[in-house]
Structure 1
Amino acid sequence: MKTRKLGNSEITVSSIGLGLMGMSGLYGHSNDEQSIQTIQRAIDLGVNLLDTADVYGNGHNEELLGRALKGRREQAIVATKFAHGPNFQGVNGHPDYVKKAVEDSLLRLDIDYIDLYYQHRVDPNVPIEETVGAMADLVKEGKVRYLGLSEASAQTIRRAHAVHPISALQTEYSLWSRDVEAEILPVVNELGITFVAYSPLSRGFISGELRKFEDLAEDDVRRYLPRFQKENFQKNVDIVDEITKIAKEKGSTPSQLALAWSLAKGALPIPGTRRVSFLEENAGASDIVLTPDDLARIEAVSPQSAVQGGRYDDISMKGLNI
């Protein structure tokens, strides 16, 4: 596994990470033992950036990661997030909440410090300077090593970075979600902040595993996202089929091609999976080199304008890029 330096830090991270959200039931039934095997296999492969959040499974996801890291803590870079209330209700960036949230996360993770601590969503009612100031105190106390933001605007990133160095900005970024390219990517590149791309496979759609709406379990949250709706589903499958053709010519899978695309764009993707086989497939993307001609062909068959449906509903989108 190739590695890179995490922005404004002394941490070396894998060029591809592992997102753990799907291990806590949000994408249908999950199995803890299978998930732990996947996390531990990730570490074996050198995939050391492990991404969770306190709200995933309302604490279950952090506890799961804590169990998986028994005896292997020093081999992992633990990234977690705070801000949401239970079941993603509300956003809280008040300094007192920050201090409580980190203690709760440390307890669930059963570790002494967090490597990368993100504000999951920006609280529009609390100045970012106050929130990041409280996060900076956690660094001084040794509870957190480095700080991150998620789904923050370019202006907010600059203001936060002026209070304390920001090491990572995490936002959805994939062939089908590219709005960050206009303002956010230039800012993080200027400030030396690593851009961490979540859902780099558009929540699994680009993997080619999903062929029809009915493939989604009844309790899968993707059923409620616009691009997974029945009226959009088949049109998006058609785009994946074109991506798959290019992937086959490169001797890769569509997932690997999409991840190699994000790497070529300078992002650090954190694809999520519960299965060892998919983890190993995703890790293999770090060895794929895309030429300018490859990138042009991918762009031609999958321009952002082609995807049908947004990444969230209209209400949820209003809480992004604050």
Structure 2
Amino acid sequence: METRKLRDLEVGALGLGTMGMSAFYTGAGTDDDESIRTIQRALDLGVTLLDTAEAYGPYTNEELVARAVKGRRDEVVIATKFGLIRHEEGEETPSTERHITSAPGSVRTALEGSLRRLDTDHIDLYYQHRVDPEVPIEDVIGQLAEFVTEGKIRHIGLSEAGADTIRRANAVHPITALQSEYSLWTRDPEGDVLTTLRELGIGLVPYSPLGRGFLTGAITKPSDLDSDDFRLANPRFQQEAFETNMRLVDEVREIAREVEATPAQVALAWLLAQGDDVVPIPGTKAVTRLEENLGSSSLALSPEQLARLSSLPAPSGDRYPDMSPIGR
């Protein structure tokens, strides 16, 4: 697979998001054996960036990733995140309380826990999962810089941060990557955020690059989802918005027919074409879907096709039922 750089961190052009193996998309249950096969197949095919977080499970996803890469740690760039679970410093029993916090004691406890669960002595890319409005970003990055000095993390990342926060953070220590939702379904980073990233040399790691599965064309009505699937609470998956948003999928399907590819491959190829500093992390827990997604890395869309996709209207509805936790 082609490689790309997130600042000075070299990774495969496509990464693998592992959240759905342990959380949020598990209405039909989990299959750790298939998930491990999927991760290992990804490594065989040139994927190097694996994305997890302590909040996925919580905690169980990091343990799953550790099992999958056992004996292959040197092949992998492991990215994980802190800041969505409150910890007391030095607590022996991990908390399951979800709460945006980057309090110093909580962050160090989170890091030590992630290192233990991932069975590693360092984390390659450590993200603040969400910006904490109660703790200055300068203080957060200053603490993470100490972890870099200690050798416990190698690169610092942010998630869902705005342009001003990114600038302030980068002034304390170089930021390697911003992880934010970005796809034909969500164009939010375009504008100030993407301009700032490129000015500062920071890479962009789009999560949910397939619009939470919407852009694959496999979901044709809300009832296709399991009754406890978290997407059913998302405004964009409500009936009226859903019907409006299907028009985006229709155009993706049309281009897929033209290039003899799948809608998922077209959506990912568009994203890859947005710049060589963009490394999407499509998530899946099945080998077949993984192989389909990775086929996008060799799919070339014409300028006219890229323009048609870029001109699609914004989807109807917010990304989340409550957008207030999305700190900037």
The SS at the match of 2:58 is helix
* Partners of 1:208 and 1:240 within 8 A in 2: yes
Corresponding residue number in structure 2 for 1:16: 14
Q: How many Å separate the matches in 2 of 1:88 and 1:269? A: 29
Deviation beyond 4 Å, 4+ runs, structure 1: none
1:73-84 matched pairs, under 5 angstroms: 73-84=73-84
The 5 Å alignment of 1:19-38 reads 19-27=17-25, 28=27, 29-38=29-38
Amino acid at match of 1:149: L
Distance 1:183 1:132 in 2: 21
The answer to whether the 8 A contact 1:94-1:130 is kept is no
> What does residue 215 of structure 1 align with?
224
Q: Structure 1 length normalisation: TM-score?
A: 0.95
Q: For the Cα contact (< 8 Å) 1:21–1:272, is it kept in 2?
A: yes
Distance 2:224 2:96 in 1: 24
The secondary structure found in structure 1 opposite 2:154 is strand
What letter corresponds to residue 277 of structure 1 in structure 2?
T
Alignment of 1:1-322 (within 5 A): 1-7=1-7, 9=8, 11-27=9-25, 28=27, 29-85=29-85, 89-266=98-275, 267-300=278-311, 302-304=312-314, 307-313=315-321, 315=322, 317-322=323-328
- How many corresponding residue pairs? 315
Q: Give me the whole-angstrom Cα distance separating, in 1, the residues matched to 2:162 and 2:310.
A: 25
Q: Tell me how far apart the structure 2 counterparts of residues 242 and 141 of structure 1 sit (CA, whole Å).
A: 50
Shift of 1:297: 1.7
Task: Provide the secondary structure at the position in 1 that maps to 2:156.
Answer: strand
Q: How high is the sequence identity, in percent, across the aligned residues?
A: 55
Code of the residue aligned with 1:273 in structure 2: it is T
Cα distance in 2 for residues equivalent to 1:215 and 1:90 = 31
Hey, what's the Cα distance between the residues in 2 that align with 1:5 and 1:298?
A: 25
Shift of 1:242: 2.2
Could you tell me how far apart the structure 2 residues matched to 1:238 and 1:220 are? 23
What displacement does 1:87 show?
A: 6.2
1:206 and 1:244 map into 2 onto residues whose CA distance is 9
Deviation at 1:231, TM superposition (A): 2.2
SS at match of 1:281: helix
Whether the 8 Å CA contact 1:55–1:88 is kept in 2: the answer is no
Give the Å deviation of 1:105. Answer: 0.4
Unaligned runs of 5+ in 1: none
CA distance, structure 1, for counterparts of residue 316 and residue 97 of structure 2: 25
CA contact (8 A) 2:129 2:159 kept: yes
Change (3 A) 1:88 1:297: farther
Contact 2:225 2:232 in 1 (8 A): yes
In 2, the alpha carbon distance for the partners of 1:197 and 1:271 equals 8
- Whose helix fraction is larger, Structure 1's or Structure 2's? 1
Deviation at 1:321, TM superposition (A): 4.5
* Alpha-carbon offset, residue 223 of structure 1: 1.0
- Alpha-carbon deviation of 1:179? 1.7
SS in 1 for 2:231: helix
The separation in 1 between residues aligned to 2:303 and 2:197, in whole angstroms, is 23
